[in-house]
Amino acid sequence: MSTAAETSLHEFRLPNETRQYRAARDDLLRAEIDLRRQIERVAALRRDLPPGGVVAEDYTFDEQAADGSGKPVKLSELFGGKQTLAIYNFMYSSEMDVACPSCTAVLDSLDGASPHVNQPISFVVVAKSPIERITAYAGDRGWTHLRLLSSANNTYNIDYGGQAPQGYQMPAINVFTRRDGVTRHFYNAEMLFAPSDPGQHPRHVDTVWPVWGMLDFTPEGRAPDWQPKRSYD
């Protein structure tokens, strides 16, 4: 007859854990390993997507220059010599009195990650507000690493899922490639547009948002009555 130690996946034990806890934890660990394998399978499927549509317009964005003035920058220039460009749509249009608190929480995290992400690829954030308004908000948040752009004067948001036809803003992550002088769309995080299971959190951009990942480790999980705020004062 096999012992619990023999059937367990490893020998590490926590102080005062019970046999019942270890058995349940091993069952969960097997599920977590299956999930890791599924994440890898999905990532492989994503990488194997066929070429997306050619980007017909070399969109012009506004960026803040070193002297504080605005300067135009083309989509093709955002690659910075790299082959891949990722763009996050920040929900903060001119029609919005305040920025989206969820986007703010996402970008609080991505500001720290940005120097690392920008090594293999280029990563930028766009919002449909004047660049001065965007950078002022970034200053209030203490963002120092994000490359921020204004899409106020182009149709990028509505073309690539960051704005509904009715005009309201939506979160979006888009990835583009540029090879042999041709810019193509590669990926949009489309789960926002797909049906959700009853009671299911949309999980639209969760893979880049550490808040929910951390809460998933806790007994409370994703409390349905809690959402991130801009401030907790």
**What percent of the chain has pLDDT above 90?**
83
Q: Residue 76 domain-assigned?
A: yes
Same domain, 68 and 16: no
Q: Residue 158 domain-assigned?
A: yes
Query: By CB neighbour count within 10 A (0-12 exposed, 13-18 middle, 19+ buried), where does 162 fall?
Result: buried
Rounded to whole angstroms, the maximal C-alpha distance in the chain is 75
Same domain, 17 and 109: no
Same domain, 96 and 184: yes
Q: Residue 70 domain-assigned?
A: yes
Mean pLDDT computed over every residue of the chain: 93
Residue 122 · residue 79 · CB < 8 Å: yes
Q: Residue 103 domain-assigned?
A: yes
Q: What is the pLDDT of residue 14?
A: 95
Chain centroid to Cα 190, Å, comes to 12
Same domain, 20 and 126: no
Separation of alpha carbons 179 and 85, rounded Å: 12
Which domain covers residue 43, as residue numbers?
Answer: 12-48
Same domain, 81 and 115: yes
Domain count, the chain: 2
What DSSP element (H or E) covers 39? Answer: helix 19-47
pLDDT at 6 over 70: no
Same domain, 84 and 109: yes
- In sequence order, the 6+-apart residues with CB closer than 8 A to the CB of 194 are none
Same domain, 28 and 134: no
Same domain, 64 and 44: no
Same domain, 64 and 113: yes
CA dihedral (102, 162, 128, 86) positive or negative: positive
Same domain, 71 and 169: yes
Q: CA-based angle 217:187:74, to the nearest 5? A: 120
What is the residue-wise DSSP string for 153-221? TSSHHHHTTSB-TTS-B--EEEEEEEETTEEEEEEE-GGGGS---TT----SSGGG-HHHHHHTTSSS-
Question: 201 versus 94: which is more confidently predicted?
Answer: 94
Q: Residue 164 domain-assigned?
A: yes
CA dihedral (82, 84, 88, 93) positive or negative: positive
Q: What is the pLDDT of residue 2?
A: 43
For 12, 26, 66, the CA distances from 17, given in Å and listed in that order, are 11, 12, 57
Same domain, 70 and 153: yes
Q: Residue 109 domain-assigned?
A: yes
Cβ density class 25-64: b for 16+ within 10 Å, e for less? beeeeeeeeeeeeeeeeeeeeeeeeeeeeebeeebebbbb
Q: What is the pLDDT of residue 200?
A: 77
For residue 69, the domain's CATH number is 3.40.30.10
Question: 219 versus 225: which is more confidently predicted?
Answer: 219
Separation of alpha carbons 17 and 226, rounded Å: 31
Same domain, 30 and 105: no
CA dihedral (43, 44, 47, 48) positive or negative: negative
Q: Residue 88 domain-assigned?
A: yes
Q: What is the pLDDT of residue 56?
A: 96
Please, which pLDDT band fits residue 156 given cuts at 50, 70 and 90?
very high
Q: What is the pLDDT of residue 225?
A: 83
Q: Residue 222 domain-assigned?
A: no
Mean pLDDT, range 1-16, rounded to an integer: 75
- In sequence order, the 6+-apart residues with CB closer than 8 A to the CB of 95 are 167
pLDDT in tens, 59-78: 999 999 888 888 999 999 99
pLDDT at 201 over 80: no
pLDDT at 87 over 90: yes
**What percent of the chain has pLDDT above 70?**
97
Separation of alpha carbons 141 and 50, rounded Å: 38
Of 133, 113, 16, 166, residue with least CA distance to 64: 133
